[in-house]
């Protein structure tokens, strides 16, 4: 088995701040994903990466940047945090796009 680690677990930021979330997986999966989940809502895909150094925009990429420098890691940057923003960011990985995804525990963001 493998595991997905997301850091930090909690992130408190200020309005306008640039914030970076990190994700590591040891499944040796090619594909990684970032989702945003608002309270009581479903998942919205922000970015995904089919392989190292690849980036694909999802449905909610505006306001975010992503980086996949290594096969095992995928970072997400909130380019300018919005006041009162509160959401959970979930990272996932899979062997290939469309295959079973394995999820991390999430990073909880609060912007003051």
Partner 1 sequence: AQSVTQPDARVTVSEGASLQLRCKYSYSATPYLFWYVQYPRQGLQLLLKYYSGDPVVQGVNGFEAEFSKSNSSFHLRKASVHWSDSAVYFCAVSMRTNNNRIFFGDGTQLVVKP
50 binds partner 1 (CB under 8 A): yes
CB of 17 to partner 1, least distance (A): 24
Q: Are 81 and 15 in contact (CB under 8 A)?
A: yes
Q: Which is nearer to partner 1, 31 or 75 (by Cβ)?
A: 31
Beta-carbon contacts of 78 under 8 Å, excluding residues fewer than 6 positions away, are 13, 18, 19, 20, 21, 63, 64, 109
Interface with partner 1 in residues 53-92 (CB under 8 A): 58, 90, 92
Return the residue of 87, 104, 109, 111 that touches partner 1, per CB under 8 A.
104
Q: Which is nearer to partner 1, 13 or 106 (by Cβ)?
A: 106
91: helix, strand or coil: strand
């Amino acid at each position: 088995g493998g595991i997905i680690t997301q850091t930090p677990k909690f992130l408190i930021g200020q309005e306008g701040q640039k914030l970076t979330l990190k994700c590591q997986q040891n499944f040796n999966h090619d594909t990684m994903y970032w989702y945003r989940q608002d309270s009581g809502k479903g998942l919205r895909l922000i970015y995904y990466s089919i392989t190292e150094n690849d980036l694909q925009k999802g449905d909610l990429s505006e306001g975010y940047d992503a980086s996949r420098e290594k096969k095992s890691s995928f970072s997400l940057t909130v380019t300018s945090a919005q006041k009162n923003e509160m959401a959970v960011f979930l990272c996932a990985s899979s062997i290939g796009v469309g295959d079973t995804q394995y999820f991390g525990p999430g990073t909880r963001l609060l912007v003051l």
